[in-house]
Amino acid sequence: MLRASTLEGYQIPGLEEKLIATLFADDTTVYMSATDDYGVLARILTTWCIASGAKFNVDKTECIPIGSEAFRNDFKAQRRPSPDHPPIPDSVRITTDKTAVRILGVFTGNEVDDGEPWLRVLRKVSDQLTRWDNSHPTLEGRRSLIQAHVGGGTQFLTAAQGMPPYILKKFQKLISDFFW
């Protein structure tokens, strides 16, 4: 329905089809151009939900405007990509700059600090190691705990998004302090 619609999405050089949506399990990300009408998308999604029996969690709907800072500011203020479009409903959250939005485990947005999502992971891993430290594990136990909590707790985000060097140094210090 989306591909056959009037929605333009993004045309990426080298790809035959436009990028209009990515779907994974119960997560849907829709890519709209500045000329696309949110109302058209809403009607397609409503029809799809009726036909499939699915239900979109509209409370989680977020819009990340992409483009120049001036475009993003106008979009947020007017709640529309251009004056000839109706405004996006108030129920749709429009993210502000420097606000990370989690899409399939990756944090994205405009002017987002790459280390911001890592601070939560670092705090969680640190808390886990602190709790384990109270049980006075052996060196072999500490090695296993580091592999489980540091390795396991960072693997996906590192693969999906990369780890900033300053965060890597924080993890290295955390590991060293816990191990010794």
Q: Using one digit for the tens of pLDDT, what is the confidence trace for 92-116?
A: 889 888 888 888 777 888 888 888 8
Amino acid identity at 113: D
Contact 103, 95 (CB under 8 A): no
What number of other Cβ atoms are within 10 A of residue 25's Cβ?
6
In this structure, which long-range contacts are made by residues 127-136, counting pairs with CB atoms below 8 Å and at least 24 apart in sequence? Answer: 128/153, 129/174, 129/178, 133/178
| Lookup: tokens for 95 | 């993210």
* CA 21/CA 2 separation, integer angstroms: 8
Q: What is the dihedral of CA 74, 79, 84, 85, to 10 degrees?
A: 140
pTM of the model: 0.67
First and final C-alpha spacing in the chain: 58
Q: For 16-51, what is each residue's pLDDT tens digit?
A: 888 888 877 777 888 888 888 888 888 888 888 888
Q: What is the dihedral of CA 13, 16, 19, 24, to 10 degrees?
A: -130
| Lookup: tokens for 166 | 């300053």
* CA 46/CA 58 separation, integer angstroms: 11
Contact 65, 116 (CB under 8 A): no
Residue 17: its pLDDT value, please?
A: 83
* CA 101/CA 93 separation, integer angstroms: 11
* CA 53/CA 58 separation, integer angstroms: 15
Residue 170: its pLDDT value, please?
A: 94
Could you state, in order of their start, the residue ranges of all structural domains in the chain?
21-108, 115-179
| Lookup: tokens for 99 | 């606000």
